[in-house]
Every structure is written in C-alpha cells, then in structure tokens.
C-alpha cells in the first residue's frame, strides 16, 4: 500500500464514473444489499455530468486509483433555506481510520458553507454504530432521536401508482407524464 499522504481529495470527473460504480458496489456489499445498485457508469455520467447535473462528488485518489468517494447534491429547507445532502460516503476498508472519510465529508460540508447552506443532511443505517458514534462526536444530530423525524421513500412503482391515484390533472396529461 502506498503512503496515505499521497492521497489527493479532488472533485469527481466523468472519467471517474467506472471506478465510482465499483465503489458504490463495494458500499452496497458493506451495507448488506449487494443487489441494491441498479445504475451503471453511463447513468452516473449522464446524471452527474450532463446539461443538468443531479449530483456532485469528491473522490480520494491514490496512484490513479480511487480509494474513496462522497456523492452530494443541493436541497432546500423551507425553514432554513439552502441545504446540502450527502448521499453516500465510502472509503475502501484498507484506508479507513486514517482520516480519509473525514476529509471527504469536510469537502462536502465546506462546499455547503461556501454556497450558504444552513445544514448538511445525510442518513446512516441504524446498525452502523461506529459511523453513528463518529458522526455524533463530530456534532451531527440524530434527528430521529431529537426531533422524531423518520426517513421515508417511494420507489418508482409507488411514485407511478401515487400519481395515478385520484387523478386531478386529467387522465391524458397524467399518463403522458408517466411515459417520459
């Protein structure tokens, strides 16, 4: 293994997406959901580097190999204004506990501060106690404990079913929107 001091944290580029897809798979394996990721490197390129980027990322690079990444996007709070959301953060096991995850996370937080964001939101699995403890030590608050907020999600099928339920736009307009 090369010297950790040679690791560079930088903004992600579209040519990183093949390696990023591999790191996403490693993260999914760690999270015990190996069949979770459905996206491809091409999807990442299109969604992150097209005309309307849906995400941004920082990567940790050592000798032209990515050893970690964090993916984030901007959000908005109706109570506080601009926010930044960290979707994922991952560091290869052999590079953990060396400050690399902290550097990646700080890159996201610093970006948010520069953009005038008032909060950095993210989620962590309830069984990942080492990460939960770490985030709390850094000043993050578990809002499910402190405020009672629960995270919800609708998958694609549920989104379609919801839109079709009790149609108010009119059937034709709604069905045309769903085809896209």
Position 171 pLDDT exceeds 70:
no
Average pLDDT over residues 93-102: 93
Q: Which residue, among 108, 100, 107, 111, has the nearest Cα to 134 in the 3D structure?
A: 100
Helix axes 171-179, 156-164, angle to 10 degrees: 170
Write out the catalytic residue numbers.
135
pLDDT at 152: 85
Contact 119, 143 (CB under 8 A): no
User: What pLDDT, in 10s, does the model give residues 115-163?
Assistant: 999 999 999 999 999 999 999 999 999 999 998 888 888 988 999 999 9
pLDDT at 172: 58
- Residue 62: strand pairing partners: 65
Distance (Å, whole) CA 117 – CA 114: 8
Distance (Å, whole) CA 7 – CA 94: 13
Domain residue spans of the chain: 4-147, 150-180
pLDDT at 166: 75
- pTM attached to this predicted model: 0.86
What homologous superfamily is domain 4-147 in, according to CATH? Gcn5-related N-acetyltransferase (GNAT) (3.40.630.30)
User: What pLDDT, in 10s, does the model give residues 18-65?
Assistant: 999 999 999 999 999 999 999 999 999 999 999 999 999 999 999 999
Distance (Å, whole) CA 93 – CA 97: 9
Can you read off the two tokens belonging to residue 13? 């580029």
């Amino acid at each position: 293994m090369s010297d950790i001091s040679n690791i560079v944290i930088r903004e992600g580029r579209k040519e990183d997406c093949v390696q990023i897809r591999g790191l996403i798979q490693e993260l999914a394996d760690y999270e015990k959901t190996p069949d979770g990721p459905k996206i491809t490197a091409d999807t990442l390129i299109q969604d992150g580097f097209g005309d309307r980027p849906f995400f941004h990322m920082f990567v940790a690079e050592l000798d032209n190999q990515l050893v970690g990444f964090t993916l984030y996007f901007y959000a908005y709070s109706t109570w506080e204004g601009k926010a930044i959301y960290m979707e994922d953060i991952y560091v290869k096991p052999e590079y953990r506990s060396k400050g690399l995850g902290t550097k990646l996370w700080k890159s996201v937080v610093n970006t948010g501060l520069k953009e005038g964001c008032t909060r950095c939101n993210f989620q962590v699995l309830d069984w990942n106690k080492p990460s939960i403890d770490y985030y709390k030590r850094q000043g993050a608050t578990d809002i499910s404990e402190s405020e009672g907020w629960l995270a919800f999600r609708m998958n694609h099928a549920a989104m379609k079913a919801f839109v079709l339920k009790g149609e108010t736009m009119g059937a034709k307009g709604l069905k045309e929107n769903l085809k896209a």
